[in-house]
Structure formats: C-alpha cells, structure tokens
Structure 1
Amino acid sequence: MRTADGDARNAPADLILRGGVVHTLAPGGGGGTATAVALRDGLVARVGDDREVLALAGASTEVVDLAGRAVLPGINDAHLHATWLGAMWPDTLFGEHVVPGPAPERPLLDDAQRRRAILRAGELAASLGITSYTEPGLGPGEDHGATGAFGTSVAELYRELAAERRLRARITVLWLFGELDGPSDLENFLAGLAATDGATSDPRWLRFAGVKIFADGIPPMRSAYTHHCYADGVRPALLVAGADDAEREANLARMIVAAHRAGRQVGVHATGDRSIDVTLDAIEQARAECDADLGHYIIHGDLVTGTQLRRMAALGVGLDTQPEIALRTRSLVDDALGPGSAAAAWPLQAAFDAGVSMCLTSDAPVLSPDWRRQIAAADEWMGPTADPRPRMERLLRCYTVEPARQDRAASWKGTLAPGMAADLCVLAADPLALAPVELPDVDVELTMVDGEIVYEREAWVATAETV
C-alpha cells in the first residue's frame, strides 16, 4: 500500500493547493484553520498552513493558488442510480413537480448504450464534485427490466470500465435479486446470493459490497408497510413474496440473515415503521448468530421512529435518506397518513441525536444528483438554528465521512488527513461561511480522484494561478 508517511513523508509533493481554506472533516482536523493541502502519489501528503505545506514543494511540484476557495473531501453519494441517470439526464422523476412522474421512455437497449450512460453519469458526477457513489441495485432481478439500466450486464460493464481505467469515481455496487421497486422471493434471492461473483481487480475503484432488498414502497403511494392503516383504510403488504403478512415478514428476515451469514452488506429499502421493525429484528438476529458489523443500513426510512433510531445506533445500522423528498412530499404524506404525519417523518435531528450514521443521498434520477440541494433541503427540514456552521459541517459529513463508513472504507477515504486518498473537490466559496440555503449557488471548481483531475470548471482554468 502506498503511504505518505515513513521515510517518504518529506518527499516533494506532486501538487499543492494553497491560499484557501481546507476542511479535512477529520477528527481534530482543525476546522477551517488549514489553508493548504499537498498531494503525492494519489494520497494526501500534508495539510496545514501555507508555510508548512509549501515545505513539500520541489522542482516538479505544481503549486496552485486557491485565491480563497475552499477544499473539501470528495463527495460520496451513497444512493445514486448512475446508469439510469445517464440515460435520463437532464430529466428526473420529480422534475419540477411535487410528485414523481413516469420515467421518460429512454430504455437502454444494448451494452453500447449502457456503457455510454455510465460514462455520461461519470462526467456529470465529476462536475458536481462527486468522487464516489453507490449504484444501489444491479442484477438478475432486472435483466429484463423496462429501463435496461439495472441488469447483470450493467455490473459487467462496470468491471470492464474499471479494468480500462475509464471510471471517474469510485463505485460501490449492491446486487439486486428481485425487481426494482417491486417483488422478490426467497428462492431467487438465495440462488442469486450463492451465484454472484463480487471479485474485482481493484476494490478501491469498484466493489461489490452486498445486496439490496425492497421491503416496501413509499408513504405517498400508500405502499409503505406500517403498523396502522392509512387514512383511507388501505393496509399494504411487504413486497417480499409470501402467503400472508407473517410469511412475508419471515422471508424478509431470512433474506437478511442469509446475506449476513454470507458476509454481505445489506441495504433495505424500508419506509414504513413496520418494515423497519422487521428489518431491525432480522439484523439483531443475524448479529446474535455472528456478531460482525457489516454496515447494514436502511434506505429512505421515511417513518422511522425515535425508538427505532436508538436501536439502529446500538446495532450499527445506518440510514440513507433524501431530505428533498421530505420537502416535496409532506402534503402527500399528510393526505395518506392523516394531518400532521409528515411533521414526525424524516426525523433528521433525532437521527443525529441518537448517534445513527446517516448519509444524505440524491436517489438520482429520482432527484437531481446535486448534493448541494440535499444539504439545503436538510437544513430547511430541520428548521432554524442559532449557529448554522456546526450544522453545515455535520451535513457535509453526511456526504463524505458517513458514506465512507458505509462503504467500509473510512480508513482510507472520506477525509483529507495525511495518508488518505487524494479525493477532493474545490468550491468557489467556503460552505462553512454560508447559510445552507446559499450552498446550491456555490460553484464546484475542481474535482480530483486518486490525485488526478477529473473535472475543471472553465472559470477555474482561467483564473486559478499556478505559482
């Protein structure tokens, strides 16, 4: 493994960015006190003030003046359907409407189209400062799906692109053995779990982490699995196959336990409080049998309760959520579940207070992949705060530090401490000096992955001073 320590710690850097503000987001990282960062061999070599970092400047070191710009760890979107996004962009399911509409009919008909969609999504991600993302659900359950964006062939194309070094971001994949937003059954799940190959040439660029399971739907469609009826009397069932509620719950639990036994991470799409209870019971059972923290997590978790959040923290279960969906659908949730129901949904502050590892995600192309919008939406949903700076830093961690933990990669990415991966983005202004509502208007100037530039804004190229 490469290292920026030991005998080479004072070797010349490849690149130094200085004269700005560097937010390492590392424990004890000094907040905004750093003004420069040095990169060497794809790793962070040093972070500090200009003087101490410029000590690593050698004859071949490129030194760039940030002119007050801000450096952050690379953004990690822990739930982004990139292939589908590449086919649909600039359209999204929500668009400018309150409710998601039908997806534009742009099916990916062959591998050439799928390959182009992956590469197009990579370009878009790079332009937004995204250096890692999770493709949450690829596999045989969608080999004949209408979009052509989620089948086994997409997983194989990711392998090819990784081998060709064409990826612009680090990719985590979850296998899918049922239908997207649809049914699954225990038999096919177990067969898929036994048959899929997760080997890759470099897991730092492409890693098949585990499996995704759709437990239920969403509250506005009255398909979230809840402990109580909807306002109109609807009582939905789990999406997992079974003769009745008890058998469906048992089959969902068997899927989760089987994946845990196989050493696979599990991401469960669960929005209703009852589906979350079933999921947590199964994870607790799995950990009682084999107490390994595999980073299991709840996807969406719209109706998660305070009691469930405390259980999640105790079990090491994370939460991936989308605050912009909360803002857009609150009236629909009230219509479905009764007035005032949305006010108790998506309890972001309670998740922080309980110590749950929470990732903010886009679910693109359901929403735009622009992480700045999700942070602004989270702040709006949480309400006013006396001091926006600590909240902004905490929300930034939900797009950097916490997704790295979910990826089981916190030891080497997600912060800008020496020895960590040189994955970063440069913003035109310091986000910790802004109100979150202002963040979507701040330009991404530069994106680097593994110490290599994958995106430069034209204005950056014109104004960044090399010294």
Structure 2
Amino acid sequence: MSRPQNTSGASVPKPVADLVLRGGPVHTLAGSGPGPGPASGTALAVRSGRVLRVGADADVRDLIGPATEVVDLKGRAVIPGINDAHLHATWLGALWPDTLFGDHAAPGPGPQRPLCTPAERRAAILKAGDLLARLGITSYTEPGLGPGEDAGLAGAFGMSVVEQYRNLAAEGLLRARVTALWLYGELDGPSTLDDYRAGLAALGGRDPDPAMLNFAGVKIFADGIPPMRSAYTHHCYADGSHAELLVAGENDTEREQNLTTMIVEAHHAGLQVGVHATGDRAIELMLDAVERARAERDLDLRHYVIHGDMVNPAQLQRMARLGVGLSTQAGIAVRTASMVDAVLGAQRAGSTWPLRETLDVGIPLCLTSDAPVLPPDWRREIAAADEWMGPADNPRDRVETLLRCYTVHPARQDGAETWKGTLAEGMVADLCVLAADPLTVTAAELPGVDVDMTVLGGRVVHER
C-alpha cells in the first residue's frame, strides 16, 4: 500500500507509536453508557502522551517502529486510569498504612503523625503518589488545601503543602494529575465569611501546567456527619438534639445566609464549589444557592455535593437539573449504617446514600475513598457500592457503570472530560492494565484483580 500523500505530492511519514498494548480487551468507556457490546478493541497505540489508535491487533501493526515499546497483554485488560475525586493524598502519605477506620466498623481516634517540615510534606506527597500509582490511580482531587489550615495539627493541608505540590509539579515528579480545592476555614471545622472573602481576593494565577496541577475552586464545610449528630438536618436526632452549620454566624438564619453568600460569590468569580454537606437541610441550602447563582450568571462550573449522605429524591432531581454532581463513599455507607440508624432512628440508613437513584436521574456520581479515612483502593469501593445498591439485573453492566464513577464522571467534575477519563482516540493516555477483564468478574470479585501496570500520559509509572 502506498503512503498517504499531501496536497503538494510529497510523501507524508506514517506515525510511529511510542507505546503499543495488544492482545487483550481494551475498554475505552467512551460510549454513552454500559451495554452488552464487546470491548472497544484488543489493542491500543500511544504517541506523544495521547491515544493514537484503538482497534484490533492488526490495526496497530503499522504503528510499531524500532523504538516502540510493545506490551503483550496476554489477555489482560486495559481501562482508563482511575480518578479518585476525593482523596487527601498528603495526609494519606503521612498515615499510611494506617487509616482512620482501620479494621473497625467506625472511625476512631485517628493516628497522629503530624507533618512538621516542608521536607516531611514533600515526602508524604511522594509516598502517596507511589501508592496510588500501584493502584492504577492517575488523577485525584485534594479536597481542601489552603490558609485555613496553616495552624492545623496534622500539617497536611496548609499553604506549605500547596508550595510542595507546586514544586513537585515544576520538577515533573508528580505521579498523578492533581485537582485541588482551596480551603479558607478549618478541615472538618468552621469558616467565617470574612476569611473566605479574603481568601478569594488573594487567589493567584493559574499553575503553569493545569493538566498536572489545577486549583479548580473552593471547598466549604457546611456541616459534619450523621454518626456524630453534626449533619444539618430538617429533623431532630433520635436523642432530641440538632446540629448547626459550620459556617460562622450568630444564629441559624445568619449562618445560612453566610453559606449562601460564600457559594454565590465563588460562582460569580468563576470558581467551582465543593460543599461538604451530609444533612438534607445543608444540601437544600447548597442547591438554593447554586440555583440563585446560576440565575444571576449562568455558568456550568461543575459544583458538587461532597458526601451527600442524606440527599433525598427531590434534591436529586434538582441536582440533575442544575448540573450539580455528587462525590461520595460507598465504603462509609456500608460501615456506618448501624450507627446512622442509632442516631437518626431505626431503618433510616436504608434511605441514605441513594446511589442507584443518583445514577437513575443522570447525576454524575463520583465514587471516592476519602483516604485516609478509608484505604484508597477503588476496587473495594466499587464492591461496597455494589453491595449497598443491592442485586443487579446485569452484573456486567453494574461493574461498567461503577467503573464510570471512577473515570468518566470524575473527569467531568474536573472540567476535563474533553481530554481525559476515557481512552478514545486523541485523549491523554492515562490507563491501567488489570490482571483480568473487570467486565467478566462480579463487583465483589473485583478487589482480587491485580493492577499490573499504570500509565500516565503515555509514561509507565508502575509495573507489577
């Protein structure tokens, strides 16, 4: 076959791949949703950090040159790189292999290993990067870094951490793409409107390579969590108590007004807002604020609810209409259901964390680990989500749907769905190789499937 010709008649050199993976199912997840169809191909070629071609083995043969690295999959499967959309990597690096839950059904006092120096923070980020690469994680969100935690006891969330991230990005040493949210209050604690406004006013310019490190918006703690009776709800807890918003104010009305103002002002500044909201009343306030903000300035900034334990059906419908996402942890749902029943009333846990309903109404659901609250193992979180959702009519479709909650949907949350999250041709070559095809096992079996290779932007960052 003759080489392709350009309009001048000169020969056009054929492209040569840097990396070719062949001989196993390649699941691009680029379709509109799960279905019974075959894998997208059995081979994938990468050039200059992007997916060059996906197809049968024969389709990539002409892309292999003397310098091409060729990986024989031998039946192993390729999927897009995993994106954990809520993971405290610096804190994880400080505590691992310990987690806040440990081996218990509920979180206890967390291990105390404060990061006291810039060198310790740098080492923690690098340690987390190595761990995440071994798990096939190529992107994650640090959900809260900034001056609000400069005096924090953990030393894992303040501006010194921001400096270390920027240094590592500039040196090309990050092992995953990082999205971060600014934090102007305390982690799991209060914030004031004045501090928040000061933080927004002090925001600097964009980082040099936002594809590797991107401060996308702000995080606000609206409330706590149901097991600690600190979720902001419309109803009293079983013991008669009720919670307050974590946003500072003289009374409930002022606190609610301040939360609304924070969300609206961030929206007008063109910033994404992630609101830690577990109680139904906190979620409702967040949606009211987003609806007001979008009426005043109609921007789709991918605002999202973090955790959303007690979100109700009417709120899910509003979230879908407003383009508000949900980032949640099925592993916490499974572990704390009995505690939720104890504080909210018998059988209430069954209506919390409505994962199936969230997907049914079309909300981009992100499954996350909240590591180091839980281990950062996405396979275990998918298994927990499957358990929480109950029996599936089609287990294969269920696994594919939940894989999208760790790939496609987080890319949308990052505002990056045009260049990452799937393995369609032209997308960045962020991928992982699994020892078995995840669409041939049940969700419960997925934690036993090893991650054999992780590729970030066409570069192998882990090989088992």
Which residue of 20, 26, 39 maps to 2:24? Answer: 20
Please name the residue that 1:257 is paired with: 264
Rounded Cα–Cα distance in structure 2 between residues aligned with 1:452 and 1:405: 23
Rounded Cα–Cα distance in structure 2 between residues aligned with 1:453 and 1:419: 18
Please name the residue that 1:313 is paired with: 320
Rounded Cα–Cα distance in structure 2 between residues aligned with 1:10 and 1:395: 38
- Opposite residue 116 of structure 1, the aligned amino acid is A
After superposition, residues 412-423 of structure 1 pair within 5 angstroms as: 412-423=419-430
Q: TM-score, normalised by structure 1?
A: 0.95
Rounded Cα–Cα distance in structure 1 between residues aligned with 2:325 and 2:14: 38
- Opposite residue 92 of structure 1, the aligned amino acid is T
Q: TM-score, normalised by structure 2?
A: 0.96
Which residue of 335, 348, 372 maps to 2:342? Answer: 335
In structure 2, do the counterparts of structure 1 residues 171 and 67 end up closer, same or farther at CA, with 3 Å as the change threshold?
A: same
Rounded Cα–Cα distance in structure 2 between residues aligned with 1:31 and 1:148: 48
* CA displacement 1:75-111 (0-9 Å, x = unmatched): 0000000000000000000011111011211100010
Please name the residue that 1:122 is paired with: 129
Q: 1:196 Cα shift?
A: 2.2
Rounded Cα–Cα distance in structure 1 between residues aligned with 2:32 and 2:425: 13
* CA displacement 1:105-143 (0-9 Å, x = unmatched): 110001000000000000001000000000000001000
Please name the residue that 1:113 is paired with: 120
After superposition, residues 203-242 of structure 1 pair within 5 angstroms as: 203-242=210-249
Which residue of 43, 47, 68 maps to 1:61? Answer: 68
Q: After the TM superposition, which segments of 4 or more aligned residues of structure 1 sit over 6 Å from their partners?
A: 6-9
In structure 2, do the counterparts of structure 1 residues 274 and 10 end up closer, same or farther at CA, with 3 Å as the change threshold?
A: farther
List gaps (5 residues or longer) in structure 2.
1-5
Q: 1:386 Cα shift?
A: 2.4
Secondary structure at the counterpart of residue 298 of structure 1 = strand
C-alpha contact 1:43 1:421 (8 A) present in aligned 2: yes
Rounded Cα–Cα distance in structure 2 between residues aligned with 1:9 and 1:435: 45
Q: 1:28 Cα shift?
A: 6.4
- Opposite residue 86 of structure 2, the aligned amino acid is H
Q: 1:156 Cα shift?
A: 1.2
Please name the residue that 2:281 is paired with: 274
Please name the residue that 1:462 is paired with: none
List gaps (5 residues or longer) in structure 1.
1-5, 458-467
Q: 1:66 Cα shift?
A: 0.2
Please name the residue that 2:253 is paired with: 246
In structure 2, do the counterparts of structure 1 residues 161 and 9 end up closer, same or farther at CA, with 3 Å as the change threshold?
A: farther
* CA displacement 1:214-240 (0-9 Å, x = unmatched): 000000000000000000001110000
With 194-203 and 264-273 compared, the bigger mean Cα shift is at 194-203
* CA displacement 1:250-277 (0-9 Å, x = unmatched): 0000000010011110000000000000
Secondary structure at the counterpart of residue 55 of structure 1 = helix
In structure 2, do the counterparts of structure 1 residues 234 and 198 end up closer, same or farther at CA, with 3 Å as the change threshold?
A: farther
Q: 1:10 Cα shift?
A: 4.5
After superposition, residues 367-446 of structure 1 pair within 5 angstroms as: 367-446=374-453
Rounded Cα–Cα distance in structure 1 between residues aligned with 2:242 and 2:214: 38
C-alpha contact 1:198 1:208 (8 A) present in aligned 2: no
Please name the residue that 2:3 is paired with: none
Rounded Cα–Cα distance in structure 2 between residues aligned with 1:287 and 1:28: 27
- Opposite residue 306 of structure 1, the aligned amino acid is P
Rounded Cα–Cα distance in structure 2 between residues aligned with 1:412 and 1:220: 39
RMSD after superposition: 1.3
